[in-house]
Structure 1
Amino acid sequence: MVTNTSLMNGTLLTMMPLDLSPAMVYPAFIFGTLTYFFILFCNLLLLTTIAMKRTLHKPMFILLFNLPICDIMGATAFFPQLVLSIILQNRSITYPACFTQALLLHLYGTGNLLFLTAMAYDRYVAICWPLRYNSVMTQNNLVRIIVIVWLIDFTLILLLLGLATRLKICRRNIVDMYCNNPSLVKLLCGDTSVNNYYGLFITALIQGGSLLLITFTYIQILITCIKNNQSDARVKAIHTCGTHLVVFLLLELNTACTLIAHRFEDSSPYLRRALGVSILVFPPIVNPLVYGLRTKEIKQNIMTMLKEKSKFIYKGKST
């Protein structure tokens, strides 16, 4: 039996094999690396645009600023380890590295859902109570919301993964493409019912709570838009909220399918693998593209910043 102490000292775990043929190793390595750099570029561009352009220093965009941070966190936890294991043809990982990867990936997923919920509240106040918006979404309240979201995120996930350290470990095979709480729990010996119950509690709280709150806010927003006689304001509200809803539904459905697949032992390992990877690939790519292309203010500021940058580079070369 392998004890927790020996694992923390560097005993290796083995993740699910990639089953790549020799001819596919380098194409997979290049594809994974390019995907990671594309995610970094898109999310850093969104971060930089919001940070640099004072016209975007509004509650909605400041809350949005946290989404790329979560996406970069998740992508960085997954892709470097993946492409390294592809090129080295080695799926081994130490327990500390596995635990850290699981921590960052769960913080990424939970943080995304929580901040999307906070953004829905911001849109609800802006559209349903426009005269009270400036008094509700003050700078102090905005800071409180962001701090509370991160505190909830870290508290829930640290407790979730901390429960896995109380039992001894008697297996070394990670039954997934990457380390997460379900795969860590499956390494444990003894009664893991507390881990499973708490995992279900977090799933119901985060997934169900976010879905209920966003459903409520969007029903109220829809009612307000129907009652609003100003067609321009109605179209703008629907367009803004539609962008947010697309991002939320994509993440919600992806996460729910992945968690459900883990709960059923007879589910296809290939389906579980595909769903598990998709939740780390598509949201970090889609989020900045959707907000960058569909949100007029962000799109205009990105284009302006890129033009300014290209002019600066051109002047530098001409001199």
Structure 2
Amino acid sequence: MNNMTYNSPILVIEGIDVPHHFIYPVFVLLLVTYLIILTTNIGVMLLIMIDRSLQTPMYLLFFSLSFNDVLGNTVLLPRLIFDVVSTDRSISYSLCVSQAFFSHTYGTSCHTVMMIMAFDRYVAICHPLRYTSIMSPAMVAKLTASAWSTSITLVSILLGLTVRLSRCRSVILNAYCDNASLFKLSCEEVTINNLYGLTFTVVLFSSSIGSVAFTYFRILVSCVSKKNKELNRKAVQTCASHLVLYLIMLWSGFLIIISHRLQIHNSYRKMAAILFHIIPANINPIIYAMQTKELRNKIVQILHSKVNQLQ
């Protein structure tokens, strides 16, 4: 592939290297994975929308998380599935930028939504009598809007700095389009892009880790000082699922950052980027359904009624 096409409107995605005899098994695996993500996350979203008893701050925030998982994987997986079986991996520059925008918005929103979920758990456990007044519907709406608007603004600046660059290459050295792959197409000076990208990453991860660590520290102090078994049981029940989801998301994100900053083999970097999208999206609804009593009971009721209808 000629890499000397200047400002070409058509790019080529390198994609993932799949041996010929594994093409269709990988195709089926990715397709099934995507269908599972859609089924579980959309199912949870519909259940929260339909059942008024689940329309509480915690579940509304989980609705945002599921919506984000569907968005992030719909941007990535259909195109990736197509590229596995197709010899034509060309993509327009504008579509590539759009994919990068939604992919980075997905990753950023994972952190911002998780930060709000941690705050929700803190208020519920440490200030239970004030919970309904603090986490009112209006407050939840404001926090959710701020999470998404912050993500969109930060990512818009990130991609805005990239699209201003002229291009002297046309091959995306990744499985899909992202900011790092896009600005690597340029032969111009990209110091500003690197500085903003590094600052963006440090601020996002520092804010995310700091706020989650602070809220869980306050929850731990509250549980230890009050020595209330019921409070401790509630804290474990409501915080365990959130903490597991957060740690999975955090380490998946670290894999991508490390793979871009260090000289890691292309195949491992591509795999890390794909896993960042599909692992949290597959695990999130399962963990929440298993750890959250109300949601688990609703799912069991629905499955039980379906079985009765079939008998």
Structure 2 length normalisation: TM-score?
A: 0.94
Aligned with 2:300 (options 300, 303, 319): 303
- Whether contact under 8 Å (1:251, 1:283) holds in the other structure is yes
Matches of 2:292 and 2:158 in 1, distance apart? 36
- Whether contact under 8 Å (2:240, 2:291) holds in the other structure is no
Matches of 2:239 and 2:223 in 1, distance apart? 11
Aligned with 1:273 (options 257, 270, 283): 270
Please state how far the C-alpha of 1:2 moved relative to its aligned partner.
4.3
Q: Deviations over 1:74-114 (max 9, x none)?
A: 11111110111112233222212211111111111111111
Matches of 1:283 and 1:125 in 2, distance apart? 25
> What's the counterpart of residue 213 of structure 1?
211
The number of aligned residues is 308
Is 1:25 the counterpart of 2:53? The answer is no
SS at match of 1:65: helix
Please state how far the C-alpha of 1:229 moved relative to its aligned partner.
3.0
> What's the counterpart of residue 285 of structure 1?
282
Matches of 2:222 and 2:150 in 1, distance apart? 31
Please tell me the residue identity of whatever aligns with 1:307: H
Within 5 Å, give how 1:1-319 maps onto structure 2. 2-4=5-7, 6-7=8-9, 11=10, 13-264=11-262, 266-309=263-306, 314=310
- Whether contact under 8 Å (2:13, 2:90) holds in the other structure is yes
Please tell me the residue identity of whatever aligns with 2:292: T
Please tell me the residue identity of whatever aligns with 1:108: Y
Please state how far the C-alpha of 1:236 moved relative to its aligned partner.
1.9
SS at match of 2:177: coil
Matches of 1:240 and 1:61 in 2, distance apart? 11
- Whether contact under 8 Å (2:15, 2:173) holds in the other structure is no
Pairwise CA RMSD: 1.6
Structure 1 length normalisation: TM-score?
A: 0.92
Please state how far the C-alpha of 1:66 moved relative to its aligned partner.
0.2
Matches of 2:23 and 2:124 in 1, distance apart? 50
Matches of 2:121 and 2:153 in 1, distance apart? 26
Matches of 2:134 and 2:16 in 1, distance apart? 50
Matches of 1:141 and 1:99 in 2, distance apart? 33
Please state how far the C-alpha of 1:268 moved relative to its aligned partner.
2.2
SS at match of 1:14: strand
Matches of 1:290 and 1:90 in 2, distance apart? 38
Matches of 2:216 and 2:105 in 1, distance apart? 25
Please state how far the C-alpha of 1:237 moved relative to its aligned partner.
1.0
Q: Which runs of 5+ in 2 are unaligned?
A: none
Please state how far the C-alpha of 1:49 moved relative to its aligned partner.
1.4
Q: Which runs of 5+ in 1 are unaligned?
A: none
Matches of 1:98 and 1:206 in 2, distance apart? 24
Please state how far the C-alpha of 1:133 moved relative to its aligned partner.
1.3
Q: Deviations over 1:3-50 (max 9, x none)?
A: 54x52xxx2x12224322222111111111111101101111111111
Q: Deviations over 1:215-242 (max 9, x none)?
A: 0000000111112333122112112111
Matches of 2:13 and 2:86 in 1, distance apart? 14
Please tell me the residue identity of whatever aligns with 2:88: N
Please tell me the residue identity of whatever aligns with 2:224: I
- Whether contact under 8 Å (2:17, 2:267) holds in the other structure is no
Identity over aligned pairs, percent: 35
Matches of 2:232 and 2:87 in 1, distance apart? 55
Q: Deviations over 1:292-313 (max 9, x none)?
A: 11111111112223334555x6
Matches of 2:213 and 2:224 in 1, distance apart? 16
